[in-house]
Every structure is written in structure tokens, then in C-alpha cells.
Amino acid sequence: MSQENRRYVEVIVPLKFCGGITYYYVPEDITEPVETGSWVVVTLVGRRYLAVVRRAGCPLPEALSESKILPIEKIASLKPLPPVQIELWQMIADYYLCSLGEVFKSAYPAAFFHQSEKKRTVNRPVKAAVAKEEKALSQEQQKALETILEHYRKGKKTVLLWGATSSGKTEIYIKLARQYLVQGRSVLYLVPEIAMSRQLEQRLTDALGDKVLVFHSRQTVPARKKVFDKLISGQGNYLVLGTRSALFLPIVNLGFIIVDEEHDSSYKQTDPAPRYNGRDAALMMASKLGVRTLLGSATPSMESLYNVSEGKYGLAELRTKYFGAGDAPVKLIDMGKVYAMHNARGSFSMQLINLISEQLKNHRQVMVFRSRRSYSSFLQCDSCGETLRCPQCNVSLTYHKFNDTVSCHYCGWKARFDPLCHHCGKGTYTAKGAGTERLAEELQEIFPDARIARFDAETAATLTAEKSILNDFAAGNTDILVGTQMITKGFDFENLSLVAVISADSILSLQDFRADEKALQLLTQLRGRVSRREGTGQMVIQAFDTSHPVLAALASEDKLHAFTDDLLAQRQLFGFPPYVRMIQLTLKDTDQARLRLTCSLVARRLGSAGLKDYSEAITPAVDRVAGKYIRIIWIKIPRTASAQRQKSKIEEAVAQVLTASPSSDITIDVDPL
């Protein structure tokens, strides 16, 4: 084929290089149609990649020499992606200031298709799930449903369902999903955590039968590929239940999107790029496709409440709990007074110990929350007072007693524990700051006959372990469950009667403008675990600062609503999101002097680009990780039509700095949490 008659295609490669976009030509021996969304195998810098065609039959840019354009090697045996999927990738790349190739890589990691090259396993027939009889909604649920539908009829594309914990939001989701499925449309149901998807799977299958497909990163690659193949075939419509990665599935004929626990920070991907928020990306998808979205939460994000106040979202409320139970009473225990009166055993006040003992005698279950895992959060020399720190990061090492190691939760460095002080060589290290491992040990000493389990990133590292721990607690085989944030996510345990929060100050004293919002959301969700049915459930919070306004807001729903109004007013007064958009630049370097120069260069470039509202380079609390020093620059931009232009200027300024200082490491995080 002569160069004049070549057919050129613009291809997306799963790389940051050149924005992830490059050009190839279609050789004469390829007779299959090559179109937007086609999967092709190409070679780039000596390596083969599975890539996706962005545009077919496109002209070659003048800057490129025809003689250097390589041919496509072959067309992969995969059905083409719908063009709207690639348009969504582009929207995410533009908004989050990353390359199209990085979005592609996040959507479909290389391992996703690796199994297709291996010998296919025999699929055993699976008995089709049959939907059970539809449940009737309560009077208040029906009213909330009618409010949602009325908002949609009036033209609102997005509605926020503000429903108290255990008020029955899921039944409303199911009711709406069923309506779209009956119409032949598909539904995307997003949840923030994998554990939530497993709990919901059976409930949704009971309601909707074999229309339910589940997709998340802890599934095997063949299981995920099976869901992909079923969806891209275009045969049938489904409810797809998944975490944020499910956004990138080729769901044909999508009619409705549900984002459950829309406030949850787990929707945000922090590394690698794209650093996107699953909730916001779902709204982008809905806008692109013209479909309706329902956001649900007992503790809505400030962004969603702002959009309600601005008239962009409709609002439906569901305040009464489904089983008629009221909010669990909250008991605050002042640990300063407790320790002054020597009225504690280890991390537990005697008052809390007595309450736990009472629940165990009545054959009820207890949940204990601590925001930190491991045995202790730091080790301190009993002679010189020096803290054992990570050799690669400016952070204390964490001690894990079960395997007698110290590790860094930032860079992953770990070593066997040596009790002799590395600084003075005389004293020994003493464990300080109890984590979940130590709390479980203390509880076992206090209640030797109790069945105690931990639920954190260490004990629930595998899918099997996670399911086993949750199933045992749900079945009553565990008396006390000690866990981190993982235990807050919408679980329903019928026999749970007491939730205790240990060292609440660790979540109340964070120096961040979102700290109060996040703390209130977490504590409200925890409280909801023990307020799900009629009974005598109770929440106990141990803290040194029991007068904190977040704790006061837990007292009643009216105070909670007033507190969120106050938070919004403060954000507006001081110019924080959601009234502005924020972008975080993170600069890293192994050399501090070079890092200072890079920070100065970035500031000059931002100023030259016309950006006005940005901070000086700030040293974070943890200012060295994995051998690299860290500085942060915060940029505020208005929520106006010019926002995208300003973001493009930021991206260009960073690109200029990286060209001048190729050793620099700069990441851009749009709408950081």
C-alpha cells in the first residue's frame, strides 16, 4: 500500500506518554472493519500493547512523518467499545488533568484481558436466581419515592435522598431499579466499598433475580471479564452493582444511576491517575447519556447539600427508621477525668467495661471502633524519649505484635522489631497509642471467655478472610468485633447492641477544613450500626475533648442539620469547597534544595499564567515519604465557566516546569479530599 492510500487511525495506548494517544496505519492484510472503539494490538518503543481506536480514517498531523508511522499488528477479538465510553474517558481526562492513556489504564488494567489468551475454562451451569415477591414500602418510603419521581418529572436530573441510617433507602433504590429494568433499561448501582457490594448482592438478587451483575477489583479476572463480555454483547439489560471501577464498564442502554453512601471518601481514587471521584464521574456519565441519578446518604457531602441549595439537585428526605427504632443514645466519657481518677484498664474506662459486660451477659454483641490498626501507632524509648521512625519517611513506625515487626504505613518499609533504642543505645522501646490489635488483646484479658475478632486491613486482607469475619459476627459466633473504618459501611447486624469509639480525638483533631464533616459522617454511620431495630442500642464515645461541636451535633437530628448548615456557612465565609474548586499540587524530590527551587518555579509559572489564588509551598505533617521530601501548593479556582480554562493553565504551567526540571515529581489532584 502506498503512503498516499494509507488508512490512519488515532489510537489510545494505556500510557501517560504523549497523552496516551498516537497514530498507526491499517495494513492491507487487515480486512476486518476498524472503527472507533475497536481493540487493536500495536507496538510502541519495542513493547506490544492492547490499545483502543479513538478515531478511524483520520488525517495524519503535519508534525508527524508518514515514514515513521507503524502498522497495527492485528485486530483483537473483542467487541468494540461504545463510542460514548471513550467520550467519558475524555471527560475524565479533561476534568482531572491527566492523559487519556492513564484513564484507559485505570479502566482496563493489562491483567483484565490477560486471561483471554489462556485456555478457557469450562463454565459450569449456574441455577438462575429467581426474584422474590416485591416488598411493600412504608408510608414514609412511598412519600420519599413520590418526591423523587416528582423532581424527575419537573426536569431535575439528580436527586439527593437524605435518609437516616436504617430508614430503608435500599428498598427505594430497588423499587426504582425495577422500574427501569422492566422498561428494558440497565441500572448502575455504585457502592464505596467491596464489603458493601457483597452484603447487597444477596438482597438485590432476592429482589431482582438474575438481572444482578457484580463487579469489583477483588473478584477474579475471569469473573470480571465475564461481566464485561455479558455487557458488551448488548444482549439483555442488568443492574450492575459495583465499586467505582464499574463506571468504566460498557453498559448498553443505561437508564439510571444510583450512588449509595455518596459522601464516602472511598469513591475518590488518590493514586495513580486519574485521581477521580466515582460519584462525580458518575454524574459526568449521567450528563453525557442524559440519564437520571439518585444520590443517597445519611450524612450527605457538603458538595451535594450545596447543589441542593443552588437548585441543581432535588431533595427527598427519609427520617424515620424502617423498624421504628429511634437513634441510639450517645454516651460521652471524658478520658481525662477517667485517667485522673485511675478508673480505667488500659484503653477502656471502667464505665465502658461495665457496659460491655452487661451486653455479654445478655448475649448481645458489641462493636469497638478505633481509627488505627496494628498493636501500637508508635514506639518511644523509655530512657531518652526518642520515637522510632521510618528510615525513608518522616513518620513513626507502627508496631505489629502478632508477627513482631515494625512497619511504615506510608511507604511499606518493614523490619523485625529490635527493642533496644537506636538513638541512645540504653533504653528500650515501649508501645504507645493502641491500635485495633492491642485493643483486641486488652479486651481478651478483660473478658477471657468472650469470642473476639478484628476487622481491619490486616485480618481482612483476603476475600475469604473478610467474608469469614463478617459471617461469623452476623451469625452470632463472635461477641466483640474490633475494627477500623471498615466496620462503618452500612452493615446490618441484628444482635448488635453497643458500639464503642475509642480515642475519638484522633478523628476530631485533624487539621483539615473537611475534618469536622468527615468525623460527623463517620460517627453518624457508626451510630447507625446500632440503631437499626427496636431495642436498647447504645453508642459510647471515649474522648479527652467531650465538648467538641461534632459530638454535640450527634445529640439529635435537628442539631445535625443545624451543624451541616453551619459548616456550609463557614466554607462560604472562608472560600473553601463547595464554594470554590481546589486543586492540590504535590511536589516531591530526594533533594531538599532542588525541591525549593522547583516550588519557586511552579509559583512563578502559576503567576505568569494569570492564577491569583494559590498558596506558598506548604510543608505537610508527613514531609518525607519513601526517601522523597514533599511540599504542597493549594490552588483555588472559581466555580464558573472559566474553571476549565484555568485548570488548563495549571496543567500547562506544570508541564513547563517538568520540561525545565525533568527530575521533578509533580502530581495534580483536582477536588482532593
pLDDT in tens, 388-433: 999 999 999 999 888 899 999 888 899 999 999 988 988 999 888 8
pLDDT reported for residue 498: 95
Go through 567-589 and write b for each residue having 16 or more CB atoms within 10 A of its CB, e for each that does not: bbeebeeeebbbbbbbbbbebbb
Model pLDDT, residue 127: 54
**What's the mean pLDDT in 39-68?**
89
pLDDT of 120 > 50? The answer is no
Mean pLDDT of 269-290: 95
123 pLDDT higher than 60: no
DSSP element (H, E) containing 601: helix 592-608
Q: Report H helices in 299-373.
A: 302-309, 335-340, 350-361
Q: Is pLDDT of 578 > 80?
A: yes
- Write out pLDDT tens, residues 46-59: 899 999 999 998 88
Residues 251 and 278: beta-carbon distance below 8 Å? no
Give the pLDDT score at 533: 57
Q: Alpha-carbon distance 41 to 13, whole Å?
A: 10
Residues 6+ apart with CB under 8 A from 285: 88, 247, 254, 257, 291
Structure-block grid coordinates of residue 351: 464505665
Distance (Å, rounded) from C-alpha 106 to C-alpha 390? 30
Tens digits of residue pLDDT in 171-197:
999 999 999 999 999 999 999 988 777
Q: Which residue has the higher pLDDT, 464 or 586?
A: 586
At residue 502 the predicted structure's pLDDT band, cuts being 50, 70 and 90, is: very high
What domains are there in the chain, each with its CATH number?
Answer: 3-80+109-114 (no CATH), 139-318 (3.40.50.300), 330-373+435-570 (3.40.50.300), 580-670 (3.30.70.600)
Q: Which amino acid is at 575?
A: G
**pLDDT range class, residue 490, cuts 50, 70, 90:** low
Average pLDDT value for residue range 304-315: 96
Q: Is 662 exposed, middle or buried (0-12, 13-18, 19+ CB in 10 A)?
A: exposed
Tell me what the mean pLDDT of segment 227-242 comes to: 92
How would residue 114 be classed by pLDDT, with cut points 50, 70 and 90? Answer: low
pLDDT at 119 over 50: no
Given a cut of 90, is residue 310 above it in pLDDT?
yes
pLDDT attached to residue 167: 85
pLDDT band at 564 (very low <50, low <70, confident <90, very high): confident
Grid coordinates belonging to 458: 490486616
The H-assigned helical ranges of 64-191 are 83-95, 100-107, 110-114, 139-153, 169-182
Q: CA-CA distances (angstroms) from residue 312 to 70, 307, 308, 318?
A: 48, 5, 6, 20
User: How much is the pLDDT for 459?
Assistant: 84
DSSP assignment string, 609-622:
TT---BPPPB--SS
pLDDT band at 118 (very low <50, low <70, confident <90, very high): very low
pLDDT tens sequence across 657-672:
998 888 889 999 999 9
Strand partners, 257: 188, 293
Nearest-angstrom CA–CA distance, 189 and 171: 13
67 phi, psi to nearest 5 deg: -70, -20
Closest CA to 431 of 474, 402, 410, 458: 402
Using the Cα atoms of residue 667, residue 18, residue 288 and residue 238 in order, give the sign of their dihedral: negative
Q: Which three cell numbers stand for residue 94?
A: 479533561
Question: Is 80 exceeded by the pLDDT of residue 629?
Answer: yes
Q: pLDDT band for position 117 (50/70/90)?
A: very low
Average pLDDT for the chain: 89
pLDDT of 460 reads 81
Window from 13-17, 60-64, 250-254, 452-456 with minimum mean pLDDT? 60-64
Residue 322 has pLDDT above 70, yes or no: no
Exposed, middle or buried: residue 549 (CB in 10 Å: 0-12, 13-18, 19+)? middle
From its phi and psi, is residue 472 left (phi > 0), alpha (psi between -120 and 50) or beta? Answer: alpha
Q: Are strands 239-242 and 212-215 parallel, antiparallel or unpaired?
A: parallel
Rounded to whole angstroms, the Cα distance separating 10 from 634 reads: 35
What is the pLDDT at residue 266? 92
The residue length of the chain stands at: 673
Q: Structure pTM? A: 0.90
**DSSP state, residue 229:** H
Is the bond into 620 cis (omega within 30 degrees of 0)?
no
